[in-house]
Amino acid sequence: MGGTEAARPNRLISSISNTYSKILLNPSYRYLLLLLGAPVNLVVFLFYMVQRKKDDYAAAENRIRSEMLAAGYLEALRSEMMEQQKRKHEFFKQTISEAQLKQEVDKIAEARFREVLKDRTAKDLKLNNRKRLTLADTFGSLIENPLFFIISLIPGLLMYILIFLYSNPYLKYILERLVMTVFVIFGVAVLVFTILHLSPFNPAANILGETATPEQIAAFNKMHGLDQGYLTQLWNNIKGIAYFDLGKSFSGNEEITSSIARKFPITLTLTVISLIIAIAIALPIGIISATRPNSFFDYTFMFIALIGLSIPNFWQGLIFILNFSIKLQWLPATFNPENWLSMIMPVIVLGTGLTASVARMTRSSTLEVINEDYMITARAKGLGKRTILMKHAVRNAIIPIITVIGLQFGGMLGGSAVTEKVFNISGIGSYIVDKQFIPDIPAIMGGVVYTAITISLVNVIIDILYAFFDPRIRSKMKQY
């Protein structure tokens, strides 16, 4: 028991040391590691420089370099490279001065000399059972000392967190996707601001009206920072997004953050409910159509799905209002958060296109895998139809279906403005549309960025689901 407990710290130290070595070999993470653990890495570097004087590699390298120089290896390389470069320039009919040719030859010969020196030194060390001292080796030897490891935890906490995340392929994968999401969000912010900045609309003139004097327009522009340059305005908006301080809107002087906090959950709730209902309907329809291709059910379901894809949201919404609200008086025509019946028509309108897309994709994906060799093998083993269908067919067909769901969710969230306008829903989509014709730059930026954040997070979840359903992707992530 005592031996097992003693081995745990050793495994931890070994894992940290190995991960540290891997990160140093990865250019994308190397500088981040050195920066986050700067105090610890400085101490490691000082120890490395002290121990390097006793390094077998440096001694072997110096000895072999002297032997190669004494044997005239470098001069022989220069002569060989000189002949090669002359022939090359003659072949391409290029004129070059002697000084340039000599400089070119020296550069190539020295690079080749270093390669051969490195190769011979490595062979010499291997022959004598020695190895080169590296920064990672020094770090590994230092953290084997419990006192150094404990002391280094405080200044190197962020570095150790990075090492922990890097050692877990799933956490590393999620971290990288989140970092990419941050860049995507700021890229969206820059693009949206640039488009609004270049638009011909004048916020001051649109808000103050035609009777506004030049002095009033100038005062409005100064109050909202519109008299500043493009880069200054862009920086102020980006800074506001980073600090979640979007300021006040041009129209109404309302707090943008509080407005979005009221409106965004409404749109998100409608979208999520539509998504859940659409998936619950579309998956069984697609699977049934795939298992009974070219049947009455298949033709009927796919015909209905085609109609669902073809119906515009605004037209479908108006038809619903005319029939179910005005004519039959079953459902309220406008949205009311306190009345759940008012959610039925908007949810159906939002989810119609998604249901049709997912049903068609489920059918096509399931049809592709249903005749694969492993399906025939499963039937030959005597497995039941339901087991074969759910465990083998659907599980292998689910990846493209998940992709479509993720893409359609982004389209539903970003394109909800039409449905919100039809049903008089005070959501984020209608909020952005109302503000864009002013243009109310801070309000539009806030609405678009928060929508982009949600869509980006959904895409991260989709990527994680890929790994959950597909063992091939999980295997690649472990080697990632």
Residue whose pair of structure tokens reads 């009221």 in the numeric block = 262
Mean pLDDT of 420-438: 81
Contact 251, 435 (CB under 8 A): yes
Q: Which range is least confidently modeled, 98-102, 128-132, 354-358, 388-392?
A: 128-132
Task: Report the chain's C-alpha Rg in angstroms.
Answer: 33
Q: What is the DSSP string of 230-282?
A: HHHHHHHHHHHHHTT---B-TTTT-BHHHHHHHHHHHHHHHHHHHHHHHHHHH
Q: What pLDDT score was predicted for residue 1? A: 46
**N- to C-terminal Cα separation, the chain:** 35
DSSP code, position 440: -
> Distance between CA 418 and CA 302 in Å, rounded?
26
Dihedral pair phi/psi, residue 362, rounded to 5° = -60, -45
d(CA 329, CA 336): 16
Count, residues in the chain: 480
Note the pLDDT of residue 54: 61
Classify burial at 317, counting beta carbons within 10 Å of its beta carbon; exposed 0-12, middle 13-18, buried 19 or more. buried
* Backbone phi, psi, residue 255, to 5°: -70, 120
The token pair that represents 389 in the structure block: 């269908």
**Ranked by mean pLDDT, which of 252-261, 368-377, 389-398 comes out on top?**
252-261
The model's confidence at residue 474, banded by pLDDT at 50, 70 and 90, is low
Task: Check whether 359 has a pLDDT greater than 50.
Answer: yes
Six-digit token string for 128 = 């004598």
pLDDT in tens, 78-120: 888 888 888 888 887 778 888 888 888 888 888 888 888 888 8
Amino acid (1-letter code) at residue 367: L
SS3 category, 416: coil
Domain 257-437 in CATH 3.30.830.10: no
Main-chain dihedrals φ then ψ at residue 137, nearest 5 degrees: -65, -40
* pLDDT higher than 60, residue 147: yes
Q: What pLDDT is stored for residue 129 in this prediction?
A: 65
Name the one residue in this structure whose structure tokens are 């320039």. Answer: 89
pLDDT at 234 over 80: yes
- Kindly indicate the confidence band of residue 42, based on its pLDDT and cuts at 50, 70 and 90: very high
- pLDDT, tens only, 208-226: 777 778 888 888 888 877 7
Quick check: helix, strand or coil at residue 322? helix
pLDDT of residue 479: 58
pLDDT band with cut points at 50, 70 and 90 for residue 326: confident
Q: Is the pLDDT of residue 438 over 80?
A: no
* Residue 346 preceded by cis peptide, ω within 30: no
Q: Nearest Cα to 250, choosing from 228, 232, 223, 212?
A: 223
Angle at 157 between CA 151 and CA 161, to 5 degrees: 135
SS3 category, 132: coil
pLDDT > 90: percent of the chain: 0
% of the chain with per-residue pLDDT over 70: 93
Burial letters 95-109, b for 16+ CB under 10 A, else e? eeeeeeeeebbeebb
Tokens at 434, concatenated: 């109302």
Q: What value, to the nearest 5°, has the Cα angle with vertex 154 and ends 150 and 159?
A: 100
* Residue 248 buriedness (CB in 10 A; 0-12 / 13-18 / 19+): middle
**Overall average pLDDT of the 180-206 stretch:** 83
The answer for residues whose C-beta is within 8 angstroms of residue 404's C-beta and 6 or more apart is 357, 358, 361
How would residue 6 be classed by pLDDT, with cut points 50, 70 and 90? very low
The yes-or-no verdict on residue 3 having pLDDT over 50 is no
Tokens 């949810």 map to which residue? 347
Mean of per-residue pLDDT scores for the chain: 81
**Which is more confidently placed, 205 or 302?**
302
How many CB atoms lie under 10 A from the CB of residue 306? 11
